[in-house]
Amino acid sequence: MSLFLEHGGASGLVQFLVFTVILGGGAAYLAGRALALGWKSAGLLIFYMVIFTAGLRFLDFALFESELLSLKYYLSHGLIVVALALLGYRLTRVSQMVTQYPWLYERSGPLSWRSKG
């Protein structure tokens, strides 16, 4: 867990969960959803999340006096943000495909679709 937490103890865990996972992850999920609704590529989403993670790390530094230029925390927090953004993207894309092309595709799970036939 030390890969994600800069400050030990319960306060560091609460800070990480609230700020990075809930607020940052929620915004990333919505960004992924928005890009899917605009029929943009997942590569563009990852590019945006790299920039978003830098902003999230800066806010973490400014508000909680965390280390700003830490590659370890940038990558670990970025991984969470990208994963939640891709989840929002994929869930929305599956819904789009089976709703807009019901004669071609059917849902085969929460994260996938398949051709009818």
Domain ranges of the chain: 9-91
Lowest mean pLDDT among 8-22, 34-48, 62-76, 77-91: 8-22
Q: CB 32: neighbour CB atoms within 10 A? A: 29
Task: Name the one residue in this structure whose structure tokens are 């599956």.
Answer: 94
Compute the distance between CA of residue 41 and CA of residue 68 in angstroms, rounded to an integer. 30
Residue 69 DSSP label: S
Residue 7 DSSP label: S
Compute the distance between CA of residue 31 and CA of residue 106 in angstroms, rounded to an integer. 25
> Residue 39's pLDDT is what?
95
First-to-last C-alpha distance (Å) of the chain: 47
> Residue 8's pLDDT is what?
61
